[in-house]
Structure 1
C-alpha cells in the first residue's frame, strides 16, 4: 500500500458519492437556501 497512490484512488469514488448524494437529494440543499 503506497500512501501516494491512496488519495488518487479514493478521489474518484468520493466524487461519485457526492454526485450520488446530489442526485438523491436533488434540489433539497438549494431549496433550503434563503432567497
Structure 2
C-alpha cells in the first residue's frame, strides 16, 4: 500500500498544518494542531 502525504498549507497564527493524502486515487485532507 502506498501512502502519500504532502504538506498543503500552514497557518502561522494558529499553527495548524493541513495535509493532503492521496491513497489509490482517493484524496483525504488531514489537519493537526499542537494539541494533537
- Shorter-chain TM-score bucket reads under 0.3
Asked which structure has the greater CA Rg, the reply is 1
From the two aligned structures, give the one with the greater strand fraction. Answer: 2
Task: Point out which structure has higher relative CO (alpha carbons under 8 A, 6+ apart).
Answer: 2
TM-score by length of 1: 0.19
Q: TM-score, normalised to structure 2's length?
A: 0.19
